[in-house]
Amino acid sequence: MPRFTTSDSVSLHYTDEGQGLPVLCLAGLTRDGHDFDDVAPHLRDVRLIRLDYRGRGQSDWANHETYTIPVEGRDALELLDHLGLDRAAVLGTSRGGLIAMVLAATAKDRLLGVALNDIGPEIDDAGLEVIKNYLGRTPVWHTHAEAATALSAQPAFPGVPPERWRTIAARLFRETEKGLEIPYDPKLRDAVLGSGAQPAADLWPLFDALEGLPLCAIRGANSDLLSLPTFDEMQRRRPDMIAAEIPDRGHIPFLDETGAVVALNRWLDAMR
């Protein structure tokens, strides 16, 4: 099980598979490297590196005050150092995309390009409220099957087969005799809701820092986190950005949808 130790002595889990263009995958807020299980088979000729943030997945828990975007960005760079990589492309889902933008502003020389999955420089309040409602809390369901049934009722994801939700539920929660548990430190809630856990309120300078890097952005057409006006403004500022809007998807697209796969491989080709 590959691990490395950060500069503040936290042991983090990662996976490193394939050969080719190095792509560092940074997951959503409460998630881990399994966020990219669906898209992995569709990315051509890449070395896919997935990091479990501190306090998530198979990585060690740490002082919750370090569960911040700047520290997680530092962890990502230290993983590249550990692997002997000067530069890598970053595929960032939600929280991972925010980290990627911060890296563009602070360590641009380490980036080959950035792909943003359903995240941008403005975050819709409706989506934030949804996150606040579940973050750090024990799920109300007792089994993965119950969770899958609830997830399948989301209107933002019509037509997704039940077995797909069962797979996703197994990624999101651990099933125990006492019911479902979250696979991350519950104190992540304190970190996110407390001061200092988020980047500056105006994130457009971070987005603009991506200038000159091959850029891709994917939006779920039903997203409650990345609004259409923000997505449109991103395209206006970066007319060269590879943009894809995925129908029948909310926050977040699975990334194995045809439009997402085509966009991501175009992005990868731009860096070769």
Q: Which DSSP symbol is given to 7?
A: T
Whether 24 contacts 47, CB under 8 Å: no
pLDDT at 195: 54
- Per the confidence metrics, is the pTM higher than 0.75? yes
pLDDT along the chain (272 residues), means of 10: 96 98 98 97 97 98 96 98 98 98 98 98 90 93 96 95 95 94 96 65 93 98 97 98 98 98 98 95
Taken in order of first residue, the domains within the chain and their CATH numbers are 3-126+199-270 (3.40.50.1820)
**Residue 270: predicted pLDDT:** 97
Supply the pLDDT for residue 202: 86
Pick from 241, 248, 242: nearest CA to 221: 248
pLDDT for 196: 43
SS3 state of residue 135: coil
pLDDT of residue 194: 81
